[in-house]
Amino acid sequence: MLIIRLATENDIPAVAHFAELLHGKLNSLPMDKRVIAHKIQRSCISVEQDIISPYNELYFFVMEDTEKQSIVGCAAIDACVGLKPFYAFRIAQFEHISHEQNFRRKVKLLELNTELDGSTELCSLYLLPEYRKKNNGKLLSLSRLMFMAIFPKRFSDRVFADIRGYSEEDEDPPFWKHVIKPFMPFDFMEAETLTGLEKRQFIIDLMPKFPICVNLLPPSAQAAIGRSHPTTASAKTMLERQGFHFHDYVSIFDAGPTVMSFINNIHIMNERRFVMVTGVNIPPAHTHTLLSQKKYLLATTTNSFRVALEEAQIEDDEVIISSESAKNLGVDVGDTLCVFNI
């Protein structure tokens, strides 16, 4: 059985291994075990705090295969980015018109800004390749939204996720090569690594201060703006189905799309239900359909947050779950679960 739970210090080696597998391709999981340890320790502190409004909290989650007792994925929520400025390009669009020549031309500009400061970011999503099947990716990604649905005061009104930008296999992104590289003394991976280590002064010092005219860029760079990498397309689609949309912000190095939503517009926030466990059903042997054909995200509502995607029988405000679900979620009859029908 797969469950999502809050990370502990015992999970640091596994998450650090994920960072090594990524080779710096995800700046929120840098190849630095000390930084990974700090993130998880920060998460442990954050979850124990009484939050009136978000500030600098981080919530880090891991996916555990309970049968193998191994960590197979991770994800995180940065409650309020911008303590150190969060940079993005905003796409501005204008139309030049010449009535004399009977001619119109749309002009796009990329403007460096920190307008996303103060927002909540969904980040650090990684799942081992052998587990990228069935609904495992959906469970890992949506578990963060379940946490937000249970503890909304911990988060900002606006929520966003940076989606990895387009690149050919084993090549730097075309946007980086044609637009950003001329301003930088190092390669793409080092820029991503420095950002992940929160060493962002170079962005202030070296990034162009003036708007970049998209119309003057090579076609491959133009085509990459707002385009997601093939490996992240499903993650983007999943968020869009939850009410996230592209709002003309892109990442500063690979021009990947930033999708966002107001927290109250996220579907899980409006459709999740709180129910009481009234039965723990021990399924009969050799029966594949344990309780019903419907699968739900089942999440505990305490600080020892856990989520599973399992079959359940729900009627009104009551739920019956399997004995395996009860064991792995750490709940019993009388406890409350937050549920969402996927």
pLDDT value of position 288: 47
Cα–Cα dist 291/284, whole Å: 10
Is there a contact between 191 and 177 (Cβ–Cβ < 8 Å)? no
pLDDT value of position 283: 62
Please give the single-letter amino acid code of residue 193.
T
Q: What is the pTM of this model?
A: 0.93
pLDDT value of position 38: 97
pLDDT value of position 84: 84
Q: What is the dihedral of CA 207, 209, 211, 212, to 10 degrees?
A: -30
Q: What are phi and psi of 317, to 5 degrees?
A: -105, 30
pLDDT value of position 198: 85
Q: Is residue 62 exposed (0-12), middle (13-18) or buried (19+ Cβ within 10 Å)?
A: buried
pLDDT along the chain (342 residues), means of 10: 98 97 90 96 96 94 97 98 92 93 94 96 97 94 98 97 91 95 94 90 93 97 96 93 97 98 97 96 53 81 95 93 95 96 88
Catalytic residue among 178, 229, 267, 288: 229
Domains and CATH numbers, the chain: 82-117+157-270 (no CATH), 272-341 (2.40.40.20)
Strand positions, DSSP E, the chain: 2-6, 58-65, 70-78, 88-98, 103-113, 120-127, 158-162, 212-213, 245-250, 257-262, 273-281, 295-300, 306-315, 318-322, 336-341
Supply the DSSP string of 198-215, one letter for each residue.
Answer: T--HHHHHHS-SSPEEGG
pLDDT value of position 51: 92
Is residue 99 among the annotated active site residues? no
